[in-house]
Amino acid sequence: MVNLKKLVFSFPLLYLLSVAVVAQSTIFPVSLKTRKTAVNKLADVIQFQTVSSLNQEQFRYKEFKALHAYLQDAFPLIEENLTRNVVNQYSLLYTWKGSNSDLKPVLLSAHMDVVPVEAASEGGWQEEPFAGVVKEGFIWGRGTMDDKYRVMAIMEAVENLLEKGYQLERTVYLAFGHDEEVGGYEGAGKISAYLAEQGVELEAVFDEGLAIAEDVLPSISEPLALVGTAAKGNINLKLTVEGTGGHSSVPPKDSPIYILGNAISNLHAKPFKARMTPTTKETVAVLANNLGGKYQFAMRHYYLFKGKILKMLAKDRATDALIRTKMVPTILEAGDKYNVLPRIATAVINVRILNGETDETVLRHIQKAIDDDRVKIEVHGVYTPPSPVTATNTQVFESLRKAIVDNFENVLVVPALFPGSTDSKHYTNLTDNIFRFAPQVVNRKNAQLIHNVDERLAIDVYERSITFYDSLIRNTCGKNAEMNMVSDDDLNESVGVLGN
């Protein structure tokens, strides 16, 4: 019997990728002077409190304007050589024009906004969250890991290339949104609409997402560079049950709370069906290939072991999320007096939709599972469909892979499903090639820092992220890239490693 246990149970860490940073040895081909400046500049921009919020009053508009001015000042060659568009007042779109207008441009996406610092956690920080302290090999503060370091790494890479007189063949856009943490509709959404208006089609979009994970699999010594080649969709459904109210001493047999409770318990009892998407199959195949032996055998004979593999993936909540649409009630409201029957009871069910399904198939499943006309089901907020799947048998993926392995030595590049949602969802109409990969190194120990107390980035990881973007721009847009990068034939969905 082939034992897949080790492989399968090691997956959860892949999805703890909400990011941490690990010190590594420094290999940095720029002078100490440049290096210091880059670090100091990132520390500076941490000080702008660019907190985004759906509540207009809490949105820190002035901070965004101040950050814009800082960037203009800190990157004089970009200011001089690139076109700068302010989109919807607070987002930025830079255009670095290439010499060959026949080539579709590449877009590098990052976001300038950060999540707030919870009042309750303020005292818990070792360094003030917006002070931008550089200490003990780290840059400290809100936004160092998500996502200001990417804004700054991209800017540094471009400024350095301009300084060397580097000429592009393919145009590059730098797109910096201002509201990714609250959906990105006003930032990346508007940038995408602006580009579409201009008739722009993109070769590829490179956005945040998964990252480089260390110590994931005991049997694989290399860190895994996980590239999100697909993302789950999401939708919120509001369940509403209305009753007649009245005194609690003479209740009817069914009150809104009972009916709603029953509906929720039916959802719990009837989960969505498990299945392997092409992306997860590819992930498992790449890992199995590397582990060799019995793992490889199982993946080569996938159809024989399908049931077993699915069953094992279903056992852990992180891997279970990769093989099915997940739903969970997140908001529940009913009643405010102990002796009064509520007239209305509501629940919001948050649904994360697996690729291959839609809002309609989700709704159908939920209606069927609840099977009660007294429960009204409606869509609450915006529906984000699951992303298309980005092919990996292409030159553009190869260019990314090369940029990763050239800057993070000894890593294994693995395509994977990204269970979250980023600004990249706004660009699906402009390209088939979306890659969700953040050039940082994460491990079990530090995986909790993002959106959290003591967010901080190791200086040497930051330096690598700069050289990573240098490589990525050269590989995809430079003179020698010679990329007829993606042919139409390449765009068929691929599970390249499996070969079927």
The residues binding Zn ion (CB under 5 A) are 146-147, 208
The least CB distance from residue 146 to Zn ion, in Å, is 4
The least CB distance from residue 438 to Zn ion, in Å, is 8
* CB nearer Zn ion, residue 146 or residue 282: 146
Angle among Cα 394, 274, 279 to the nearest 5 degrees reads 10
The least CB distance from residue 283 to Zn ion, in Å, is 22
* CB nearer Zn ion, residue 179 or residue 357: 179
Count H helices and E strands in the chain, helices first.
Answer: 15, 15
Residue with the shortest CB distance to Zn ion: 147
Q: How far apart are CA 2 and CA 281, in angstroms?
A: 17
* CB nearer Zn ion, residue 272 or residue 437: 437
Task: For residue 168, count other CB atoms closer than 10 A to its CB.
Answer: 23
The least CB distance from residue 107 to Zn ion, in Å, is 16
Q: Using DSSP bridges, classify how beta strands 204-213 and 138-140 pair: parallel, antiparallel or unpaired.
A: unpaired
Annotated catalytic, 359? no
Q: Residue type at 95?
A: T
Q: Token digits for 479?
A: 């003179």
The least CB distance from residue 66 to Zn ion, in Å, is 20
The least CB distance from residue 50 to Zn ion, in Å, is 12
Given the residues 63, 180, 207, 214, select the one marked as catalytic.
Answer: 180
Q: How far apart are CA 147 and CA 312, in angstroms?
A: 34
Q: Residue type at 340?
A: V
| Cβ partners under 8 Å of residue 366, min gap 6 | 237, 267, 327, 349, 351, 377
Alpha-carbon radius of gyration of the chain: 24
Q: How far apart are CA 432 and CA 488, in angstroms?
A: 11
The CA–CA distances, whole Å, from 310 to 281, 303, 314 equal 11, 11, 6
Going by C-alpha positions, the residue among 68, 63, 153, 142 that lies closest to residue 108 is 153
* CB nearer Zn ion, residue 159 or residue 208: 208
Given the residues 113, 203, 432, 470, select the one marked as catalytic.
Answer: 113
**By the 8 A CB rule, do 485 and 396 touch?**
yes
Q: How far apart are CA 189 and CA 109, in angstroms?
A: 12
Q: Residue type at 258?
A: Y
The least CB distance from residue 402 to Zn ion, in Å, is 25
* CB nearer Zn ion, residue 208 or residue 282: 208
The least CB distance from residue 273 to Zn ion, in Å, is 31
Cβ burial, residue 118 (10 Å; 0-12/13-18/19+): exposed
Annotated catalytic, 201? no
Taking phi over 0 as left and psi of -120 to 50 as alpha, with beta for the rest, 86 belongs to beta
The answer to whether the bond into 147 is cis (omega within 30° of 0) is yes
Strand partners, 435: 206
**By the 8 A CB rule, do 380 and 295 touch?**
no
Catalytic residues: 113, 180
